[in-house]
Chains A and B, each alone.
Chain A
Amino acid sequence: MKMKASQAMVECLKAENIKVVYGYPGAAICPFYDSLMDSGIRHVLVRHEANGGHEASGYARISGKPAVCIATSGPGAVNLITAIATAYADSIPIICITGQVNTDQIGSDVFQEADITGAAEPFVKHSYLVKDAADIPRVFKEAFYIAGTGRPGPVLIDVPMDVQRAEIDFDYPKSVDIRSYKPTTKGNAFQIKRVLSELEKASKPLICIGGGVFASNAQEEINELAHIMNIPVITTMMGISAFSDDDPLFFGMLGMHGVKSANTAVNECDVLFLVGARVGDRAVRTPLALEKTTKILHIDIDPAEIGKNIGADLPLVGDAKYVLRQMIEKAKPQQHDEWIAELNTYRQERVFEPAKAGTVNPRWFIDRLSRAMPDDTVVVADVGQNQIWTATGYHIGKGGRFMTSGGMGTMGYSLPAAIGAKMADPSRTVMAVCGDGSLQMCMMELATAVQHDVKVKVVVMTNNRLGMVRELQTKGYDGRETAVFLDGSPDFIKLAEAYGIKSCRVTDEKSAVEAVKLLRDYDGIALVEVIVDENAATL
């Protein structure tokens, strides 16, 4: 069928079953916007392109499919880079569509020209600069395929204005065939046997799961395998909520900010089974030491992750869901009662010291909140102390979900990602927990939530500091605190009011009860400000 290329772009999105897109217009992307207008696809006007990218990221993480964000050429495209890099670091499938100046002007530094495919290259799984409009159907088909399969990641499609305006014959390809891209899904049967036999031989086996378990939607499988074989489980920050905190086999998050039970487990185990975890430096600081004392079995869909940060005794390339299914078929029940009993002794009772007047203990509040919210709540933690308080303190019930910017640690991720998550599944409660610094990096998105009536909950931990950096300076720089004071911040309650958002402030136990009620019961956007001690510690 003959049509404008901009219309074809819209048809591609429809063919991919895209219902919502997050974007910000400008001259270079106007042809596409014009075609989008009557398409029935919901366009969410974000308040900054980076947030649009995070919104798509939140949507993708909950829907399990690539989500779309849009920006214009030059500054719009460049603003997207933070979100692209954030998605790349966490292997989140997003499709970024950018407008570009006319093809005959490319390279001459015209108004709002930026080499976005060049600039974003280090952070994309793949990118396209479309120079021939006839390529649009193939490029879109490939982009969605590449973003969503194998190790997922962002794909960028840059479309010059004249290309958008061209007329093409539209026919959406039914299948993709990229000779140089064939991700492995099923695991090698022989390797699987060997992994199982190592796990059976182990006296102190441990499973460590990462974000890959979500990418492959293998939560059920990993739970099943762990329980058949009776193997204790820990997670990286990206793996949080793949296991419920109520599970007796679960021993928490490892790493620099992790809990004692998980960190001791890593040091004490004799066989460590890594599933979709890349052993980042914040998770395991000394992989070389661990590698020497422990047998490492490693499943990952990305062969490059195996052996990159930690040597693997047994590599197993494949999609966790398939591989674990293959393992479950052959797995035999094991007994590890002593090992589990030993690990149980490292569990730490949560004790919450009382906070000074006018503040509450942030970990106490998070604990309290998590026990009141519905089990299947999606919690998006921002970056900083608030992130660690939430990661280690939010009690994950059955079906709960925790998300954060793990790899890049991008401040300002939580609110936009929560908006995206809520739109992907409006039936669930979605809550962003952020700091007073990080909220100020994304608070313009409150307007996006209001405009589109996305009923997210926001919890802001006010310590009037860039708390995590403040703490680092206290410990590592002789207490020379600099550039971490957030004086000048707005009154967040008044700010919420200005947006017409219901809010309340927590300064003691009584107001905490009110706040929890608001977050749990109110059917609308709500913001809760929690006043915490400016010197409250992360751990």
Chain B
Amino acid sequence: MKHTISVLVENHSGVLSRITGLFSRRGFNIESLAVGPTNDPEVSRITIIADGDEHTVEQIEKQLNKLIEVIKVRTLQKDECFARELMMVKLNCPADKRSEIMTIAEMTEAKIVDVTLTTVTLEICARYNKLERFIEIVAPYGIIELVRTGTIAIQKGSESITAKK
């Protein structure tokens, strides 16, 4: 099962390697990992999508909490958060396919960010499942290149995950 884990960490050098090291040496599977600054310059937020059963997620949470620079760990349930991932795809696109691909872009709320004589580059921001479907749809045109940011997630409603001083 996939789990979305939000981790607040001190913005120190080396923190990320402690976290990835922990995952690899304890045999936890990371599907994706996204990291960036927050509104607090001392705090970074990492969103991890990890695969494992209940026992594994419990261990992931506990082991992450043992790292001194980890401030907070929270596993977000699917229905309590908005999750998004940004993806850019460069497709083969000869002139005669352009309109077809434009229709797909429109229907999927993807943006066309670049066009050349032979290619088109699309950008889409959505949930994991939607991205997977999008890939299925565009794959027949021939994917030249694909990049994803990894999922980030935020809680619905007024609740928040923040670090106290």
Across the interface, name the chain A residue whose C-beta is closest to B68: A126
Q: How far is the CB of A227 from chain B (nearest CB, A)?
A: 33
A125 in contact with B21 (CB, 8 Å):
no
Q: Considering the chains assembled together, what is the distance between the CA atoms of A117 and B14 in angstroms?
A: 9
B68 in contact with A178 (CB, 8 Å):
yes
Residues of B within 8 A of A122 (CB): 21, 25
Residues of A within 8 A of B66 (CB): 302, 304
B10 in contact with A180 (CB, 8 Å):
yes
Residues of B within 8 A of A146 (CB): 68
Interface residues of A in 160-218 (CB under 8 A from B): 178-181
A180 in contact with B21 (CB, 8 Å):
no
Q: How far is the CB of A178 from chain B (nearest CB, A)?
A: 7
B59 in contact with A129 (CB, 8 Å):
no
A-facing mask of B72-88, CB < 8 A → 1, else 0? 10000000000000000
Residues of B within 8 A of A179 (CB): 71, 163-165
Residues of A within 8 A of B69 (CB): 180
Q: How far is the CB of B154 from chain A (nearest CB, A)?
A: 21
Q: How far is the CB of B18 from chain A (nearest CB, A)?
A: 6
A304 in contact with B18 (CB, 8 Å):
no
Interchain pairs with CB closer than 8 A, number: 36
Q: Considering the chains assembled together, what is the distance between the CA atoms of A216 and B116 in angstroms?
A: 69
Residues of B within 8 A of A126 (CB): 68
Q: Which of A125, A180, A181, A307 has the most CB of B within 10 A?
A: A180
Residues of B within 8 A of A125 (CB): 68
B interface residues, tally (CB under 8 Å): 21
A-facing mask of B20-37, CB < 8 A → 1, else 0? 010001000000000000
Q: Considering the chains assembled together, what is the distance between the CA atoms of A439 and B112 in angstroms?
A: 71
In the complex with contacts A180-B69, A181-B68, A307-B58 CB distance below 8 A: yes
Q: How far is the CB of A517 from chain B (nearest CB, A)?
A: 49
Across the interface, name the chain A residue whose C-beta is closest to B70: A180
In the complex with contacts A121-B21, A179-B71, A303-B14 CB distance below 8 A: no
Residues of B within 8 A of A308 (CB): 59, 62
Partner of A303, one of B21, B62, B70, B165: B62
B-facing mask of A305-343, CB < 8 A → 1, else 0? 001100000000000000000000000000000000000
In the complex with contacts A122-B25, A180-B69, A180-B70, A307-B55 CB distance below 8 A: yes
A118 interface residue per 8 A CB criterion? yes
Q: Considering the chains assembled together, what is the distance between the CA atoms of A302 and B63 in angstroms?
A: 10
Residues of A within 8 A of B59 (CB): 304, 307-308
Residues of B within 8 A of A181 (CB): 68
Q: How far is the CB of A32 from chain B (nearest CB, A)?
A: 22
B17 interface residue per 8 A CB criterion? yes
B65 interface residue per 8 A CB criterion? yes
Interface residues of B in 31-68 (CB under 8 A from A): 55, 58-59, 62-63, 65-66, 68
Q: Considering the chains assembled together, what is the distance between the CA atoms of A250 and B25 in angstroms?
A: 37
Residues of A within 8 A of B10 (CB): 180
Q: Considering the chains assembled together, what is the distance between the CA atoms of A126 and B69 in angstroms?
A: 9
Q: Considering the chains assembled together, what is the distance between the CA atoms of A181 and B70 in angstroms?
A: 8
Interface residues of B in 116-165 (CB under 8 A from A): 163-165
Q: Considering the chains assembled together, what is the distance between the CA atoms of A146 and B165 in angstroms?
A: 19
Interface residues of A in 256-307 (CB under 8 A from B): 302-304, 307
Residues of A within 8 A of B18 (CB): 121
Q: How far is the CB of A312 from chain B (nearest CB, A)?
A: 12
Q: Considering the chains assembled together, what is the distance between the CA atoms of A304 and B21 in angstroms?
A: 17
Residues of B within 8 A of A117 (CB): 14
Q: Considering the chains assembled together, what is the distance between the CA atoms of A302 and B65 in angstroms?
A: 10
Q: Which of A122, A178, A304 has the most CB of B within 10 A?
A: A304
Residues of B within 8 A of A118 (CB): 17
Across the interface, name the chain A residue whose C-beta is closest to B165: A179
A303 in contact with B65 (CB, 8 Å):
yes
Q: Considering the chains assembled together, what is the distance between the CA atoms of A121 and B22 in angstroms?
A: 9
Across the interface, name the chain B residue whose C-beta is closest to A122: B25
Across the interface, name the chain B residue whose C-beta is closest to A302: B66
Across the interface, name the chain A residue whose C-beta is closest to B24: A122
Residues of A within 8 A of B14 (CB): 117, 129
B71 in contact with A180 (CB, 8 Å):
yes
Residues of A within 8 A of B62 (CB): 303-304, 308
Q: Considering the chains assembled together, what is the distance between the CA atoms of A117 and B21 in angstroms?
A: 12
Partner of B17, one of A121, A180, A303, A307: A121
Across the interface, name the chain A residue whose C-beta is closest to B64: A304
B-facing mask of A370-393, CB < 8 A → 1, else 0? 000000000000000000000000
Q: Considering the chains assembled together, what is the distance between the CA atoms of A129 and B69 in angstroms?
A: 14
Across the interface, name the chain A residue whose C-beta is closest to B25: A122
Q: How far is the CB of B8 from chain A (nearest CB, A)?
A: 9
Q: How far is the CB of A181 from chain B (nearest CB, A)?
A: 5
Residues of A within 8 A of B68 (CB): 125-126, 146, 178, 180-181
Q: Considering the chains assembled together, what is the distance between the CA atoms of A122 and B67 in angstroms?
A: 11
Q: How far is the CB of B102 from chain A (nearest CB, A)?
A: 48
A304 in contact with B63 (CB, 8 Å):
yes
Q: Considering the chains assembled together, what is the distance between the CA atoms of A307 and B57 in angstroms?
A: 12
Residues of B within 8 A of A180 (CB): 10, 68-72
Residues of B within 8 A of A307 (CB): 55, 58-59
Across the interface, name the chain B residue whose C-beta is closest to A117: B14
Q: Which of B10, B14, B25, B55 has the most CB of A within 10 A?
A: B14
Across the interface, name the chain B residue whose C-beta is closest to A151: B66
Q: How far is the CB of B100 from chain A (nearest CB, A)?
A: 50
Residues of A within 8 A of B63 (CB): 304
Q: How far is the CB of A302 from chain B (nearest CB, A)?
A: 7
Q: Considering the chains assembled together, what is the distance between the CA atoms of A121 and B164 in angstroms?
A: 27
Q: Considering the chains assembled together, what is the distance between the CA atoms of A241 and B58 in angstroms?
A: 33
Residues of A within 8 A of B163 (CB): 179
Q: Considering the chains assembled together, what is the distance between the CA atoms of A180 and B165 in angstroms?
A: 9
Residues of A within 8 A of B164 (CB): 179
Interchain residue pairs A-B with the least CB separation, the first 3: A304-B62, A180-B71, A126-B68
Interface CB pairs A-B, < 8 A, 12: A117-B14, A118-B17, A122-B21, A126-B68, A178-B68, A302-B66, A303-B62, A304-B65, A304-B66, A307-B55, A307-B58, A307-B59
**Additional A-B contact list (7), CB under 8 Å, known A179-B71, A307-B55:** A117-B14, A122-B25, A129-B14, A178-B68, A303-B65, A304-B66, A308-B62
